Amino acid sequence: MEERGQRSAHGSSEALDDYSRQFGPLDDARYESARWWRKLNRFMSVPGILIVTAVVCLATFVVDAIANNPRSF
């Protein structure tokens, strides 16, 4: 015999209904928000890599130009 306030080892369907009623819409909103951000991150990773590559190349060329002809700067 169970005491009031305690759940069995498997829980009760009442507790599961309360959980889904309380957190269902919030979890759905979080999932949709995370999905949108993942898509944005995948899309923006390509321009981000191109920008980082351009900055590294530009820095390399400037350092090389200064090292080969220090009086021009």
Residue 32 lies in a domain: yes
pLDDT band at 63 (very low <50, low <70, confident <90, very high): very high
pLDDT band at 57 (very low <50, low <70, confident <90, very high): very high
Residue 7 lies in a domain: no
Residue 52 lies in a domain: yes
pLDDT band at 69 (very low <50, low <70, confident <90, very high): confident
Residue 28 lies in a domain: yes
Residue 51 lies in a domain: yes
Residue 2 lies in a domain: no
- Are 22 and 30 in contact by the 8 Å Cβ rule? The answer is no
Residue 1 lies in a domain: no
User: Which residue's entry shows tokens 């400037």?
Assistant: 62
| This prediction's pTM | 0.52
Residue 3 lies in a domain: no
> Domain containing 46: what range?
13-72
CA 59 – CA 39 distance, rounded (Å): 31
The pLDDT score that the predictor gives to residue 58 is 97
- How many structural domains is the chain composed of? 1
